[in-house]
Structure 1
Amino acid sequence: MKPVAIFRHFPIEGPGYFATFLDLHSIPWQLVKIDAGEEVPSTLDPFSGLVFMGGPMSVNDDLPWIAPALELIRQAVVNNVPVLGHCLGGQLMAKALGGTVSNGPVREIGWGEVSVAGNPIARTWFGEFLNFNAFHWHGEVFTIPEDATHLLSSPYCKNQAFALDIHLALQCHVEMTDEMVRTWCAIGAEEIATNLGPSVQSVEAIQANLAERVPALNKVAGRLYEKWISGLES
């Protein structure tokens, strides 16, 4: 099987549990370090799927890699090569497919419940999960592109995920590991402190009960990733 390309846009926002999942299923993957100056590939040929991780930048920023990334996503959709986006990655997918990305009403940082939409396509992705505690860290939000299906919402962000055929875009983070949560809290402590409120938890609250929260999130992620890899060509 060709490797899955995983695009990292910021050093601490790597693939996390997604890489663990691929390794457990013996699926090869290749990390494309956009944050280290690596270029977006011009062709899909070397890859079986595309995965875009998070980052503190905006898809509306004037960065040299954004336009090529959007074009690669569009190529993948046309050619039925599965695309998966986490947070910034989901926003890239939304913009590439005709949606918009803009500032949300509030920042959403920490653990918070999300609800699965009551449509058949949402059921095929989330199975028995009707709601779950997701991890959030975003200030911008996306609209649902035409022909895509809304999958997930939270009290502070109505569009938490969408699917278009075999492609999945997430606003929330399902890829988190214990180490990632702690690292993000350490580096983002000032952002948290200056935005504390109903939608932004304290560092202490975010790091509480990780031994239970992270494995529970891994189960949800595993369900999503299992369906997503079913679209990969062997």
Structure 2
Amino acid sequence: MNNGAGAEPARILIVLHQETSIPGRVGTMLEKRGFHLDIRRPRFGDPLPYTMAEHAGAVVFGGPMSANDPDAFIKREIDWMAVPLKEDKPLLGICLGGQMLAKQLGARVKAHPKDQVEIGYYPIKATDAGEAMMRWPSRVYQWHREGFELPKGAELLAEGQVFANQAYRYGANAYGLQFHPEVTMRMMMRWTTKASDRLKLPGARNRRNHYAGRLFHDPAVERWLIAFLDHWIGRADQA
């Protein structure tokens, strides 16, 4: 896409799941790369495009709901993911978004067999394929009760101890992440306050661990996110 004088900036479709949700650090970094964020909330009636011709890529974010919920908007979003996949446009699913992508690809999303959760910072380890792609952080921020199976034909990029599948690539341009690289300190404060009841679930870290973990581990996550976005989408003038 040529973004010369007078041209509209390349657009990234941003799919959010709550009225107050924001794209966090991922959104900020994409804007700094010259992209315009086309934010839509299908849960509240926003349509999704029939083609990705007017978008450089799409990011589907997380939310408190499950990819297994019977709500009509969940099914619509999962079905819609066939559009960027068919057109081979960059697609990134984060937490719920990564689980929805896995379901679109025929994999299951399910709870831990011992009802463990990941809420806070947890270790991950890159696979050989992940290491060949880039350097990964040793711990990442998580907020989920379910995980995805690895879809058939997908390549596992990072593994975890509680939920084995933490990141995968399907084809050249589609990625699913279980963790939350987009989270800012403000988002963390809101989540640990408004959803404090989830900090009592089996395996969840206490609030102090969340903040201490961010101090120690977030610089590496931020560096990873910069490198990942370089790899996944680049800059608007390159789209």
Return the match for 1:111 from 104, 121, 125.
121
> Offset at 1:13?
4.1
TM-superposed deviation, 1:63: 1.5
Q: Mapping of 1:10-159 within 5 angstroms?
A: 10-105=18-113, 106-119=116-129, 122-125=130-133, 127-129=134-136, 131-159=137-165
TM-superposed deviation, 1:66: 2.1
2:69 aligned partner, one-letter code: D
The alignment partner of 2:227 has SS state of helix
How far off is 1:191 after superposition?
1.6
Contact residue 39 and residue 65 of structure 1 kept, 8 A: no
Structure 1 residues 228 and 124, CA gap change in structure 2 (3 angstroms)? farther
The one of 183, 206, 212 equivalent to 1:208 is 212
Query: SS where residue 120 of structure 2 aligns?
Result: strand
* 3-state SS in 1 of match to 2:103: helix
Q: Which amino acid aligns with 2:180?
A: H
Give the CA RMSD over aligned residues.
Answer: 2.0
TM-score of the two chains, using structure 1 as the length reference: 0.89
Q: Does 1:179 align with 2:186?
A: yes
How far apart are 1:78 and its partner, in Å? 1.5
Runs of 4+ with >4 A deviation: none
Q: Distance in 1 between matches of 2:178 and 2:103?
A: 13
Q: Which has the higher strand share?
A: 1
Q: Please, which runs of 5 or more residues in structure 1 have no aligned partner?
A: none
1:28 shift after superposition:
1.7
Deviation of 1:214 (Å): 2.9
User: Which letter maps to 1:205?
Assistant: N
CA drift at 1:124: 4.4
Contact 1:15 1:53 in 2 (8 A): yes
Give the letter for the 1:188 counterpart.
Answer: A
Work out whether residues 50 and 83 of structure 2, in 8 Å CA contact, stay in contact via their aligned partners in 1.
no
CA distance in 2, matches of 1:102, 1:161: 16
Structure 1 residue 231, shift from structure 2 partner: 9.6
Structure-2 separation of matches of 1:61 and 1:209: 31
What SS does structure 1 have at the residue aligned with 2:117? strand
Distance 1:62 1:231 in 2: 37
Give the structure 1 partner of residue 177 of structure 2: 170
* TM-score w.r.t. length of structure 2: 0.87
Distance 1:104 1:149 in 2: 21
> Do the aligned residues in 2 keep the contact of 1:166 with 1:231 (CA within 8 Å)?
no
Which letter does structure 2 place at the counterpart of 1:113? P
Query: How far off its partner does 1:69 sit?
Result: 1.5
Give the drift of 1:116. Answer: 0.5
Deviations 1:90-145 (A, max 9, x none): 001100111111112311110111110123xx2343x133x421001111111111
Cα distance in 2, alignment partners of residues 48 and 174 from structure 1: 20
TM-superposed CA distance for 1:201, in Å, is 0.5
| Percentage of matched positions with identical amino acids | 26
Count matched residues.
227
